[in-house]
Amino acid sequence: MQLTTELIRKTRDGESVNAEELTAFVQGITNATVTDAQIAAFAMAVWFRGMTVPEQSALTLAMRDSGRVLEWSGLNGPVVDKHSTGGVGDFVSLVLGPLVASAGGYVPMISGRGLGHTGGTLDKLESIPGFVTRMAPDRFQSLVRRTGVAIIGQTEDLAPADRRIYAVRDVTATVASMPLIVSSILSKKLAEGLDGLVMDVKLGNGAFMRDVSEARALAEDLCRVAQESGVRCNAVLTEMGQPIARTAGNALEVAEAADFLAGRQQHPRMREIVIELAAELLVLGGLESDLGRASGRAGRRLDDGSAAERFEAMVARQGGPPDFVEQARNHLPKAPVTGPVTAGRTACLAEWDMRALGLAVIALGGGRRRAEDEIDPSVGLAGLISPGVDLSPDSPLCHVHAASEDAFEQAVLQVREAVRWSEAALPQTKTSAIRARIAGADVKAE
């Protein structure tokens, strides 16, 4: 107890804290000898004083070691993963994991649920009938060894200290503390036993980070602490100020992911992001020597059906239908009320408010306002058009999939309010979804 009080005092006063002190503190969190009040005091001290990179690394490793750390001896390829800071219509993980597995990597992806206006990978996958996202670590590892990829939720014995710290942060206005964000993200990812990690840091009006400088600061912190903690890590800043896919909503995104993998329909911005992240992981894992060769390899695996085969095998081995890629729409739930949202005017769509679209999906029942809320996997938005398109009054902006007529009408209003119009035609210029790349090895420690 006295050691914990001294740790809080030193953090509050901006004094240096060593790894032994932080390890003892996290052990106390795990065995319940540290109280919620003490966790709250520490979190608030970090909020005001921050932490050095060595301190963040020590906290991260202690949180990682508060539970089981997966071990992968005997594999013939690297163990790699990615983490996204959250977006709207972002099903990258569903495609990226199988793609990297088809190119020789092993991807033990431990994912989360929707947060705020952004969607969650687990919520998407659970729209597939029978798909299991909760399982014992031994079974999880067995699936990764067999298939090259599996996607599950955090288990009770992986980074348990993080769950308790986060619960306290959530009710003490310290969730947004950068050092605690970094340690929370990395403790769970490092518990996977990774050789390499890529961070997909979103920015724009549909992301938690609105501008490049804010996103870059988080990306650099994540890279510094990961490298300090012994895991090679790069980051990619990707644009979430316009759609990267044509859908937003759980089952709708899964159906689009199946189309993407089968080559039936690929949104160019989604393809650009997936290939970029896959290339980063292939280089970090030592499967390719440079990003150019790695991009080519990823593109070939995507186009020849190898990634689709891995995805279908993963779905089947986690309890879903064995023919899912070809028959996705026959297996997924369908909303009873569907229809278009028309433009209602002659103008050019200049910009989407992506956060507003995410909130529209939540209002339809496709996300949570509270942790205990149940999700309707069938609802959402489909056929989202990209900015720069000239529209007539009857042109569809998207199609709403709703559980009721009232919910449909409300979503129509929300979608229309999410549009910024231009009366003049805009130039048809293609902009990259990749805003910047950060090589972890080049980020200097602070």
189 is catalytic: yes
334 is catalytic: no
124 is catalytic: no
Active-site hit among 66, 84, 111, 247: 84
Q: Are 397 and 412 in contact (CB under 8 A)?
A: no
310 is catalytic: no
User: 71-103 b/e with 16+ CB inside 10 Å = b?
Assistant: ebeeeebbbbbbbbbbbbbbbbbbbbbbbbbbb
Active-site hit among 64, 169, 246, 355: 169
Cα–Cα distance measured from residue 392 to residue 385, given in angstroms and rounded to the nearest whole number: 13
Determine the 3-state secondary structure of 23 from DSSP: helix
Q: Are 326 and 262 in contact (CB under 8 A)?
A: yes
CB proximity list for 167: less than 8 A, separation 6 or greater:
none
Active-site hit among 30, 65, 66, 81: 81
Active-site hit among 11, 65, 66, 83: 83
Active-site hit among 64, 82, 113, 117: 82
State which H helix or E strand residue 80 sits in. Answer: strand 80-84
Active-site hit among 64, 188, 310, 399: 188
121 is catalytic: yes
184 is catalytic: yes
CA distances from 230 to 58, 135, 157, 190 (A): 11, 27, 21, 9
Active-site hit among 121, 229, 238, 295: 121
Amino acid at 133: T
Cα–Cα distance measured from residue 140 to residue 190, given in angstroms and rounded to the nearest whole number: 16
232 is catalytic: no
Active-site hit among 124, 164, 189, 301: 189
Cα–Cα distance measured from residue 420 to residue 352, given in angstroms and rounded to the nearest whole number: 6
Active-site hit among 85, 102, 184, 187: 184
Burial class (CB in 10 A: 0-12, 13-18, 19+), 114: buried
- The residues that are catalytic are 81-84, 121, 169, 184, 188-189
